[in-house]
């Protein structure tokens, strides 16, 4: 999904649907990721109503989290990517 021309909302929906198919969507309370650059969090934001369109040669992070308050636990994963004309390049190990 991390390709030029894709909207932040489309990326959010892809992450949300992955959790929904696994039965965990109710535990996914926030954004799915955002742009990174000079600031740790900057546009684009991968949220349900985002109209931001990914551009080539930008860096973004996918950092979805799942939180189950009843047991006081959660998990949040973060991976950084460079958006290129040929698709995403992962920047984290």
For 29, 34, 76, 78, the CA distances from 6, given in Å and listed in that order, are 22, 13, 23, 20
Residue ranges and CATH numbers for the domains of the chain are 8-90 (3.90.230.10)
* Phi and psi angles of residue 42, each rounded to the nearest 5 degrees, phi first: -150, 170
Give the DSSP H/E element, type plus range, for residue 66. strand 65-68
> Taking the CB of residue 36, how many other CB atoms lie within 10 A of it?
18
What pLDDT does residue 34 have?
94
For 11, 32, 58, the CA distances from 54, given in Å and listed in that order, are 10, 14, 8
pLDDT tens, the chain, 93 aa long: 999 999 999 999 999 999 999 998 999 988 999 999 887 778 889 999 999 999 999 999 999 989 987 777 888 889 999 999 899 999 998
What pLDDT does residue 30 have?
86
**Bridge partners (DSSP) listed for residue 53:** 7
Please tell me the pTM assigned to this model: 0.89
């Amino acid at each position: 999904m991390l390709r030029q021309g894709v909207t932040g909302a489309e990326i959010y929906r892809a992450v949300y649907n992955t959790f929904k198919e696994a039965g965990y969507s109710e535990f996914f309370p926030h954004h799915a990721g955002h742009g990174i650059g000079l600031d740790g969090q900057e546009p684009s934001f991968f949220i349900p109503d985002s109209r931001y369109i990914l551009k080539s040669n930008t860096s973004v992070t996918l950092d979805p989290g799942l939180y189950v308050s009843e047991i006081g636990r959660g998990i949040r994963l973060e991976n950084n990517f460079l958006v290129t004309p040929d698709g995403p390049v992962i920047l984290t190990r």
